[in-house]
Amino acid sequence: MQQKSASNAETTRPEPSRRFSVAPMMDWTDRHCRYFLRLLSQHALLYTEMVTTGALLHGDRQRYLGHDPSEHPLALQLGGSVPAELAACAQMAEEAGYDEVNLNVGCPSDRVQNNLIGACLMGHPALVADSVKAMLDAVAIPVTVKHRIGINGRDSYAELRDFVGTVAEAGCRSFTVHARIAILEGLSPKENREVPPLRYEVAAQLKRDFPDLEFVLNGGIKTLEECQMHLETFDGVMLGREAYHNPYLLARVDQQLFGVERPVPSRGEVMCQLRPYIERHLAEGGAMHHISRHILGLAQGFAGARRFRQVLSVDVHKTDDPLGVFDHAIELLGSH
């Protein structure tokens, strides 16, 4: 059995609230994106992109685990299915200060199936249970699972309930349910986020059958009003694409979903707060577009949105004064 890490005794981090979270998204929720999103909401739980155990154990650890202290509450999502490796990676996450480790049992990509990573693991509940147990034995931070409501060939409710029950017996208390079946062959991961249809009622049945477990609903949620509605049934909501494409949605999360009295920051204020971070990144040799590509959706919904996107996605590549271009984008926002 894994030894608990030495840091466990001193771990006093509170359990993060999962009432509202931003989904793990490969190539999107990198550290720059998370820094930006954190300026909009102090309380949203942020997830990293999925990191495979292989990448963490054999690759550039700092690159995968590095983050700014302001990003908390912050969860690392792992992809893998070898219990000892997952346990070792969970320890790394804990030592690096993450508030939670999440196991990916939802990604349908062929690339990951070959290595038994992602949604195909729904067909191996005992292996997921062993993985979760190994991680829980290794760390004091929470270990959670993000999964689908089924995979093709294993899509009955009885099988889903068996999956959740088996993994819960291993000690997992929190499940994030992407409420559509994953099709493991014939669809791209992108198509698999649109079809087959969402079935929130299946996720709701899980909450009824396991009232003591935490269930976070994911898939297709677009507004805070929808979040409020789902929070009557579920313990939390997780937003992916809408949070990325329309990030200003997060500006009201603290007030509306966490009941915190805090003035809603304007878009311009958020940009001004981001500026020193960009300056630091440029001074360290980084490029403006590493960060600006994540903020293109900030102006969504009002007249200057198109020009704003253009300035930050096109003009930014043609200038030797990226901060000047950024300041121009701030001006375009006016008082919005």
Closest CA to 158 of 105, 106, 117, 202: 202
- Residue 219 binds to ligand FMN (criterion: CB under 6 A): yes
Residue closer to ligand FMN, measured from CB, 4 or 241: 241
In terms of CB distance, is 108 or 125 closer to ligand FMN?
108
Q: With binding defined as CB under 6 A, does residue 218 bind ligand FMN? A: yes
Q: CB neighbours of 195 closer than 8 A, spacing ≥ 6?
A: 180, 183, 187
CA–CA distances in Å: residue 148 to residues 120, 122, 155, 251: 10, 8, 10, 28
103 interacts with ligand FMN by CB under 6 A? no
CA atoms within 13 A on the CB side of 318: 6
**Contact flag: residue 241 with ligand FMN (CB under 6 A):** yes
Binding characters for ligand FMN, 142-171, by CB under 6 A (x = yes): ----x-------------------------
Nearer to ligand FMN, 27 or 232 (CB): 27
Which span (149-157, 234-242, 259-267, 322-330) binds ligand FMN, by CB under 6 A? 234-242
Q: State the amino acid at position 306 in one-letter form.
A: R
Question: Measured from the CB atom, is 26 or 116 closer to ligand FMN?
Answer: 26
Does 89 qualify as catalytic in the annotation? no
Q: Give the amino acid at 67.
A: H
Which listed residue (83, 125, 142, 220) binds ligand FMN by CB under 6 A?
220
Tell me the closest approach of the beta carbon of residue 203 to ligand FMN, in angstroms: 12
For residues 190 and 318, which CB has a smaller minimum distance to ligand FMN in the complex?
190
Decide: is 81 part of the binding site for ligand FMN (CB under 6 A).
no
Catalytic residue among 33, 107, 120, 172: 107
Q: Which long-range contacts (CB under 8 A, 24 or more apart) does 63-66 make?
A: 65/92, 65/93, 65/96, 65/98, 66/31, 66/96
Cβ neighbours of 156 (radius 10 Å): 9
Q: How far apart are the first and last CA of the chain?
A: 55
- 56, 108, 61, 63: which is closest to 82 by C-alpha? 56
Contact between 297 and ligand FMN by CB under 6 A: the answer reads no
Task: Report the candidate in 130, 67, 128, 120 with the shortest Cα–Cα distance to residue 98.
Answer: 67
177 near ligand FMN, rule: CB under 6 A: no
Q: Are strands 174-178 and 214-218 parallel, antiparallel or unpaired?
A: parallel
Q: Which residue is nearest to ligand FMN (CB)?
A: 240
**Least separation in angstroms between CB 241 and ligand FMN:** 4
Footprint of ligand FMN on 51-80 (CB under 6 A): 77
DSSP E strands in the chain: the ranges are: 20-22, 45-52, 74-79, 100-105, 143-148, 174-178, 214-218, 236-239
Position 106 contacts ligand FMN (CB under 6 A): yes
Query: Which of the residues are catalytic?
Result: 107
Binding site for ligand FMN (CB under 6 A): 23-28, 49-50, 77, 104, 106-107, 146, 178, 193, 218-221, 239-242
